Amino acid sequence: MAKKDYKKLSDDIIAAVGGVDNILSASHCMTRLRLNLKDASVLNIEEAKKIPGVINIIVQNGEQQFVIGQDVPSLYEEVIKNDIKAAGSVDDAEALKADTQAQRGSVVETVLSYVSGTFSPIIPVFIAGGLTGAIISLLQTFAGLDATNGTVVVLTAIQQAMLYFLPIYIGFSSATRLKSNPYLGAFLGAVLVFSTINGAEGLTFLGIPIATISYNGQIFPVVLGTLFMSVVYKFLQRTLPINLRTIFVPLLTMLITVPVTLIVLGPIGYWVGTGLANAVLAIYRFAPAVAVAIIGATTVWMVFFGMNNATYPVLFLLIAEVGSDPLICTGMAPANVAVGGACLAYALLNKDPERKQIGTGAGITALCGITEPGVYGVLFPNRYPLIGAMIGGGVGGFIAGLFHLTQYVVAGPGFLSFAAYMNPDGTWGNFWGMMGVMVLAVVLAFITTYTLGKRQLAKEAA
């Protein structure tokens, strides 16, 4: 496969959207280049899809999302060399106005956009911290190292800091998404987990009692706090004289936001998060096999519509509450690798070299946990691989739920994240169970896709 020319791909995309002057800001997630445009009508989507290296183009909440693959950071680096602002800049009034107008869609669209923009950037932190826990288990199991060993102590700090300081990461990311000051968002998260605040008993502010809450690992308190902080920050930016803003905007923002968060928004967020976690666990415990099967069968649709990112809050809550994820990632693991099996069957069926290459590349990528190339390039353009992937993912999810399998850390569900299925207690039942479930999902998806594909090709030849 020829090496991608990211400079040419960048130039082609910029030309397709009307040039640098038509781009307000650029960002990227794991597989998509995301552009906010001044005039979106300039982009001819069908023509732009023909650009070599572009798998698909998705328009969500006023954002033009070019599906590239997991090498999208390399493209992004080329794009921003053209003096294009990274999304999240707080000093571009025109970009802020366009972003606000773009998100005046339905409430659901706005919420999904906010959730996606807030939680997607945090995933690498969870992957690094979570898989470090798996490395600790390997060292303790095979190297005989105990918890007092210096190497284990350092690695444990990496693992535990991931979840303990979660409010800081979310505060930064949420404020960035809201076009507010991300460092003040991180500051708010740091206040919540500070030793004299986090879990403090009998604390008051101006005589008003503050609820005793442990904020480490919590999501919604800092989300609500950052939303409120963004309103305060932008109001002060608009109303204070320009020569006073540098000092008084950050000072007043924090003096107002922190007490309101501790007294009102923090407790509300904590109760919301706890209630949601309990509700999800109740559904899972009532019918675990069915719940995980639904995730396994519908993941490809969630990826197609960009709704998979909306599962992140539930995923983080499960990790914080029960120490693993028996539902979201556990269902997505067989779903992801099933996409790989379907794509490989598609590649085997097709004699056209380009289609064969697309199917093979997307199949291998999906087995590693990245499914966008397969979903957009193979499954939805051709119905039979979609059916095969859904059957493989659904059956795999049903069996995973039936045997109460789980994923212990946040990582891209797939074979490449094998360490995420290792039980920290040193037992291997869950690991081999998940490996078996994923192999079964690949085989079922491959056989179903191949069988349905043969029939379809026969009809087309008749």
Tell whether the model's pLDDT for residue 2 goes beyond 70: no
| For residues 308-314, average pLDDT | 77
Check the CA dihedral 257-259-264-266 and report its sign: positive
Q: Are strands 32-37 and 23-28 parallel, antiparallel or unpaired?
A: antiparallel
Rounded to two decimals, the pTM is 0.69
Instruction: For the chain, give percent helix, strand, coil, nearest 5.
Output: 70, 5, 25
405: left (phi over 0), alpha (psi -120 to 50) or beta: beta
**pLDDT tens figures, 443-462:** 999 999 999 999 888 887 76
Q: Where are the beta strands (DSSP E) in 133-256?
A: 204-205, 208-209
Tokens 């791909």, residue located:
9
Q: How far from chain centre, in Å, is Cα 38?
A: 26
- Kindly list the distances between the CA atom of residue 22 and the CA atoms of 19, 36, 41, 61, 131, in Å, as whole numbers in the listed order: 6, 9, 11, 17, 41
Across 148-163, average pLDDT: 89
* DSSP secondary structure, 361-405, as one string: HHHHHHHTT--HHHIIIIITTSHHHHHHHHHHHHHHHHHHHHTT-
Average pLDDT value for residue range 236-250: 91
Q: Is CATH 3.30.1360.60 what the domain over 6-91 is classified as, yes or no?
A: yes
Q: Which residues make Cβ contacts (< 8 Å) with residue 301, sequence separation at least 6? A: 307
Beta bridge mates, 27: 34
Mean of pLDDT values over 67-92: 73
Placement of tokens 């507010």 in the chain: 180
DSSP 58: E
How much is the pLDDT for 108?
A: 61
What's the rounded mean pLDDT across residues 253-272?
Answer: 95
Of the two residues 11 and 412, the one the predictor is more confident about is 11
- Model pLDDT for residues 106-125, shown as the tens digit of each residue: 566 667 667 777 877 887 88
What's the pLDDT at 445?
96
Across the chain, what does the average pLDDT equal?
86
Supply the pLDDT for residue 109: 64
Q: Per-residue pLDDT averaged across 140-158, rounded?
A: 86
